[in-house]
Structure 1
Amino acid sequence: MNFFEHQDQARAQTKRLVFLFGLAVIALIAITSLFTALLIHYTQGAAVPSPEQGYYWHNFFSLLDWHLVLMVSIAVLVLVGLGSLYKLSQLSQGGDAVAQSLNGRLLNVSMCDVKEKRLLNVVEEMAIAAGVPVPPVYLLDEPGINAFAAGYHPKDAVIGVTRGCIEQLSRDELQGVIAHEYSHILHGDMRLNLRLVGVLHGILLIGLVGEILMRSGRRSRKNGGGILLFGLGLLIIGYAGTFFGNLIKSAVSRQREFLADASAVQFTRNPTGISGALKRIGGFPAGSQLEVANAAEYSHFYFANGVTNWLGGMMATHPPLAERIKRIDPRWQGELTPPNAGADDGRDTETTSTQPNQAAAAFAAAGAVAGVAINADSIIAEMGNPAPEALAQAHTTLAQLPASILDATHNTASAMALIYGLLFTEKVADEQRKLLADYAPASVAKLYHQLLPELVGLPVNHRMPIIELCLPALKSLSGEQLKQFQRNLIALIKADQHLSLGEWCVYRMLQHNLFPPKYRSSPAVTLASCAEACRSLLCLMARQGDLAQQQTAYERGLTALDLPHAPLLPEPDSYPVIDRHLAQLRRLKPLQKPQLLKALMLTLQTDGKVQPAEYELLRVIADSLDCPMPILH
């Protein structure tokens, strides 16, 4: 199953969950209404019919005041709805809200110890390999070995890791855990998890109202017994609803965990990494337990069971450790790893799975000069499931970046300076410097001058990794700082009165990740309804090749999309028009996006090779469609 099939499955699974929770709410309404009607009837001193009486069901339903049933139904709906909306509004910040509620501390590379820096390096490598923004990383001061990914979308995702995880695991094991979390990011699990938290909170509110009424009933002298009984009933109904809601949550979560384990093995091609992490959890006294008070609320987010459940497997959000290990390592005999056995000192030493090899270095050098052939089907298959070669290429790319630039990506001021430097245009260099002197902070303008010589000589295929590395630092800017940063970017681009393809790629990547559109549910569109937008992108791609082959390239793309052949547009659409087309195409049905991307790749590769700048354009378009295109390898 590829990335797009996972996306389609996630949509279908969301619909099934909505249906199941809808049934749960209907059941709650029915039970609460029935209970309320019977309670009122009972407290008024009337007899409740028994099955021995004739016309039992007729007599039973005659007790119901249907006006009252309607009012109770509306009250339950409003209560569950408001409770869910309240919780979801608390989580509207995405992954940051979850991490902060679990007492996570955002890691800053300038204040990290050796093991924390190793964690950041692993996260960065995997993000660049997979073609997703580098997520902020939070550290939970918990002794247990655990981790989580949270957010509504890869653009606002965060990764959280416990202190026990970075202290007890080797680099390979840590890499396996992070690869598992990236699977949740790439396959749409995070958004589903957040929605589950919201819905369950709404159902739980019925029980909480029952608790409040019970306390009120104890204090009340008048009708205290009735209030107490009503509160007890609501308490039982609410917690029963939460129980069955958690059953659904746990069943869904267990299946997603198996998928994430398999994806982690595929990503790293190192099954001993993730299986080793699971064996360490089994042999560690603290296991994977979290001590924070609200750990149970987010139990389905974690790498392994974070809370103890007295009902065992039925309510467990994760499969048993032994079953997970056995699926990864069928020859496993049950041995577990004791604490600190074979643990390293935390230094980021190169391992088999990450060390830059000669093939990756040679590929990078050759691609930067002559371009490379690409296989559209292979690239599409790797979206959401990056190959180990992509991880090796990401490691090589990071190793090739100057240390000064790599360090600069982690600081807010220097990250802004780096992005400004990517927009450097020699013929208006003085005007750009003056713009920054006038409108950027003095520290940023100074760093721009210092870093520019290093940036000017970098190959094109290093631009996107630099942007991806800068994103966590840039996301920490305040709203007003981000607006000024955006204004400065536009001013630098307009300095020469011309928007080049490279400038558009840089700005588009930043715009989609720092100023993304709201991710509201909207009807999916089809390729047939977006024919004009498709032709516009195909024209843009065809114009990148040799003049003599542009019409052939354009027709090749049209054929791949089953669109009628037509002459190439005299001029490609302006970039603002392309932006509008991308906004429309972002809503394509998941299973139609690979068809579009394949057509774009076929158009681009008519001459047999893809240049680094062309692949950068392809990745920017894929990013705008919410498709993680892996680094070229």
Structure 2
Amino acid sequence: MDFFTAQDRARRMTGRLVILLVLAVIALIVAASLAVALAVTLLEGGTLAADPLARAQDPRLLGGVATAVILVVGVGSLVRHLQLRAGGSVVAEALGGRPLNLETRDEEERRLLNVVEEMAIASGMPVPEVFLLEDQAINAFAAGHDLDDVAIGVTRGAIESLDRDQLQGVVAHEFSHILHGDMRLNLRLVALLHGVLVIGLVGRMLLHASGDRRTRSRRGGGHVAVLGLGAALMVLGYAGTLCGNLIKAAVSRQREFLADASAVQYTRNPGGIGGALKVLAVHRLGSRLLASHAQEFSHLFFGSGVRSLSRLTATHPPLEARIRRVEPHWDGSLPPVPAIRSASPRPAAVSPQGAASLAARAPADQATAEAMGAGARATEAAAADAIVASVGRPSAEDIGRARRRLGEIDERLIEAAHQPSAARALVYGILMGADPASREAQREALVGQAQPDVLVELESLEVPLSRLRPGQRLPLMELALPVLRRLSVAQSTRFQACLRRLMALESRPGALQWALHRLVLQGMQGERRARRDRHLADLSGPLSLLLSTLARAGQQDDRQALAAVERLSAVLGVPLDFVREPALATDLDWAMARLVRLAPSERAPLLAAMSCCVAHDGRIEPEEAELLSAVAWTLGCPLPSPARPLDERDGGSAGESGNETA
């Protein structure tokens, strides 16, 4: 299943969940009407012989109860939705997780960060925030609404009990939930079911109120009716919760199978995810979490996380079934109870020979392999189709390439991306242009506006930044985003003001500079969740500007760029005008603000058109790949880099290559 199909399926599933919830609420209204009619009958001194069923059919009583139930469920769901609006970090903190220190020297924590970073870069998305749950059970989860507010949580038991391949399998499983739209669906499900749970909480409040002596003395015998109503509402609330759990379990079980299969597809290593499931099967604590909110978020977890009274309400398939899905020839044997492992840190560099052996052991799927080897061996259309097919589908080759690229980057820059002051200096250095006059003006602006400690870091990073090679800037930006999101409000405001000042002072801003600048800002601020209902035919102006910019970045002269845009105009059926003058950053921001509102079904054709622009000359250079990946991410389409591996001819400073795409 490709990325766009998976996202569409998740959206349709959300609609089905709403329908099921509406049916559950109707059932609750009927049951609550009966309970209220019975309570009213008892309050008026009647008996059961007074036919409470007829009273329950009274339009006024039925309408009042329906209004009350809908109001309670609606308000409860809305409140929970607003609480979860900030993204995955809210879920992680509710479960007792703490943000993992990005400068940690703990070998196991460092290994977890390395695995998450490699998987994120291979997927073409910024590195998510990583949380550690100090729980000895083996479990993990991914939560968030969009790609820019994702949080991944992993327990202490998981990083201590699993080896690197097994941990990578678990992380790949969670990335499948991110890329298939499951995490957004899961948070919506949490909010919807919370409203049903509130009915039970109301019943509990009534029970407490009716049990108070002063209440009983004021109401006389009426407290019996209130007590009965409270008990009935509690029963209804828990019955509704049971229905919700059945819905949650039915949805979650199938998506767990899909995530396991995707983990194998991403890593080409069934022993990774399969081994993790086997270790989980023999672990003394299993996957059960001690967090008080574990039940509410149980469908987010890698393992079940909570005990289930019945298979009908189990959010996860049996471990044996999951293992047999990924290892069909499994003989049923399990490993011994794991001892605490010591992890090894990520090597400073991975040789090309080592990366090649990794790719040979786990060859990429056909679509991604064609995307990576596009250029002269494939036609423009085939290359674009392969690139679109690779969206949201990282392969073992992508993971190996991400690991190699991180190993080739100067270790000082890797460390800088994990430190608050140095990360800001790193971003400043990458986004400063190649023109000497511009760089001087930009440096002077930073001296007057940036914090002194950041300026010190910028000076110390000048040499390694000057040695950056094409293809290395985007990974550094992705690595830096988690620490940039943790800046205080004052620090973030000053940092973003400095970024805007740098772009304003650039005499020859390149398309790649603009795209990286936009990626950082969107990664920190989050995506505006505007309604996505526009079509390509409605956006010919923004489309012309973006495709003209990409075409010029991918061609040697304007005639080739013009030919690419004219051809795409015919293919898309949208009248496009080639924009000859290099676009300003503000103009490109204007275009993107409109293109992000494209309907989901229109994004695949747009991405294909973007790919055709940069591959029109039969090859995709590293700078073009960075540009394409950065723009694709801002459109919500995580794209594994379609660039060929770096070689010695790709040299050049960050500033020089940064403006080659102008």
- TM-score, with normalisation over the residues of structure 1? 0.92
> Quick one: distance in 2 between partners of 1:398 and 1:495?
31
| 1:451 aligns to 2:461 (yes or no) | yes
Q: Deviations over 1:198-252 (max 9, x none)?
A: 1211111111111111122122232111110111111111110111011001110
Between 615-624 and 234-243, the greater mean CA deviation after superposition: 615-624
1:53 matched to which residue of 2? none
Contact 1:557 / 1:600 at 8 angstroms: preserved in 2? Answer: no
Partners in 2 of 1:444 and 1:90 — Cα distance? 34
Q: C-alpha distance in 2, partners of 1:75/1:352?
A: 66
Q: Return 177-186 or 345-354, whichever deviates more.
A: 345-354
Q: Within 2, Cα distance between the matches of 1:433 and 1:360?
A: 42
1:101 Cα deviation (Å)? 1.0
For the residue of structure 1 that corresponds to 2:295, the secondary structure is helix
Partner of 1:432: 442
Partners in 2 of 1:163 and 1:569 — Cα distance?
54
CA distance in structure 1 between the partners assigned to 2:602 and 2:261 by the alignment: 25
Match of 2:539 among 530, 534, 555: 530
1:234 aligns with 2:244: no
Which whole-Å CA distance do the structure 2 matches of 1:483 and 1:60 have between them?
62
TM-superposition CA deviations, 1:472-502 (whole Å, max 9, x none):
0100012221111011112122234443323
1:103 to 96, 99, 107: 96
Instruction: Tell me if 1:557 matches 2:565.
Output: no
Asked if the contact 1:527–1:588 (Cα under 8 Å) also holds between the matched residues in 2, the reply is yes
> Which residue pairs with 2:181 in the alignment?
188
The correspondence for 1:416, drawn from 411, 418, 424, is 424
- 1:471-482 correspondence to structure 2 within 5 Å: 471-482=481-492
Match in the other structure for 1:364 = none
Correspondence for 2:330: 332
**Could you tell me how far apart the structure 2 residues matched to 1:150 and 1:523 are?**
22
- Give 1:391 shift: 0.6
Pairs within 5 Å for 1:10-25: 10-25=10-25
Query: For 1:310-349, what aligned pairs fall within 5 Å after superposition?
Result: 310-311=309-310, 313-340=311-338, 344-348=341-345
Change (3 A) 1:437 1:523: closer
Question: Which digits, 9 at most, give the CA deviation of each residue in 1:445-479, with x for residues without a partner?
Answer: 00100101111221121110010000001000122
3-state secondary structure, aligned to 1:217: helix
Alpha-carbon distance between aligned partners in 1 of 2:528 and 2:158, rounded to the nearest angstrom: 34
CA distance in 1, matches of 2:181, 2:45: 54
Instruction: Provide the C-alpha distance between the structure 2 equivalents of 1:451 and 1:349, rounded to a whole number of angstroms.
Output: 22
The 2-side partners of 1:577 and 1:115 are apart by 46
1:304 aligned partner: 303
Alignment match, 1:268 = 267
Q: Aligned equivalents of 1:136 and 1:191: distance in 2?
A: 16
Query: Which one-letter code corresponds to 1:7 in the other structure?
Result: Q
Q: Find the counterpart in structure 2 of residue 290 from structure 1.
A: 289
Superposed counterparts of 1:145-544, under 5 Å: 145-219=138-212, 220-221=216-217, 222=220, 223-311=222-310, 313-340=311-338, 344-348=341-345, 355-357=354-356, 375-425=383-433, 426-520=436-530, 522-544=531-553
Give the drift of 1:262. Answer: 0.8
Query: Identity over the aligned pairs, expressed in percent?
Result: 42
**After TM superposition, where is structure 1 displaced by more than 4 Å over at least 4 residues in a row?**
47-50, 349-355, 358-361, 370-374
1:318–1:360: structure 2 CA closer, same or farther, 3 Å change rule? closer
CA distance in 1, matches of 2:525, 2:290: 36
> Residue deviations 1:235-288, cap 9 Å, x none?
111110111011001110111111111111000000000000000000111111
Aligned residue for 1:155, secondary structure, equals: coil
Cα distance change of structure 1 residues 484 and 456 upon mapping to structure 2, 3 Å threshold: same
1:620 corresponds to 2:648:
no
Judge conservation of contact 2:128–2:150 (CA < 8 Å) in 1. yes
Cα distance, 1:352 vs structure 2: 13
Shift of the 590–353 alpha-carbon distance from structure 1 to 2, 3 Å rule, reads: farther
Deviations 1:118-156 (A, max 9, x none): 110000001000011101111111111111111111101
What CA distance in whole angstroms lies between the structure 2 residues aligned with 1:186 and 1:34? 45
| TM-score, structure 2 as length reference | 0.88
1:384 Cα deviation from its structure 2 partner: 1.2
- On the 8 A contact 1:460/1:613 being kept in 2, the answer is yes
Return the alpha-carbon distance in structure 2 between the equivalents of residues 161 and 454 of structure 1. Answer: 33
Cα distance change of structure 1 residues 353 and 160 upon mapping to structure 2, 3 Å threshold: farther
Q: Distance in 1 between matches of 2:291 and 2:46?
A: 49
Q: Which residue of 2 aligns with 1:580?
A: 590
Q: Which moved more, 1:245-254 or 1:81-90?
A: 81-90
- In structure 2, what is the Cα distance between the partners aligned to 1:355 and 1:293? 45
* Gapped regions of structure 1 (runs ≥ 5): 51-55, 362-366
Give the letter for the 1:356 counterpart. A
RMSD: 2.5
> What's the counterpart of residue 92 of structure 1?
85
Which amino acid in the other structure matches residue 512 of structure 2? G
CA shift for structure 1 position 540 = 1.8
The answer to whether the 8 Å contact 1:556/1:603 transfers is no
- When residues 109 and 532 of structure 1 are mapped into structure 2, their CA distance, relative to the original with a 3 A threshold, is closer
